[in-house]
Amino acid sequence: MQEFPHGVPEELGLRGGVFYDVGNLWGLNNVDTSGSSNIVGSSGSFRHVVGFSVLWTTSLGPLRFNFSKALKKEDYDQEQSFDLTLQARF
């Protein structure tokens, strides 16, 4: 992820970032597939997604809001365009 300036005062603990992710599923040669006739993603096609993140440092811990758009996907893929992550630091 590449962070970028956003013009909000640093005291608010907000940062922004953009990302581009690529994923694939492979290496199923040694997997027991006897219980399933069809493994989703076994065709080995690459998926591409682009998005931006808002990172917010709060008293609860760092929050990360991800907004994304799939650039390349399969018909059976379920697109997720929003994700919220709460990190705990010990």
| pLDDT of res. 28 | 67
Supply the pTM of this predicted model: 0.71
Residue 33: pLDDT over 70: no
pLDDT of residue 24: 84
Question: Would you give the end-to-end CA distance of the chain in angstroms?
Answer: 24
Q: Give 41's pLDDT tier (boundaries 50, 70, 90).
A: low
| 62-72, strands of its sheet edge to edge | 2-4, 14-23, 47-57, 62-72, 82-86
Domain segments of the chain: what residues? 2-25+45-86
Kindly state the DSSP code that residue 10 receives in the 8-state scheme. Answer: G
**Which of 81, 58, 56, 62 lies closest to 70 in space, CA to CA?**
81
pLDDT, position 36: 63
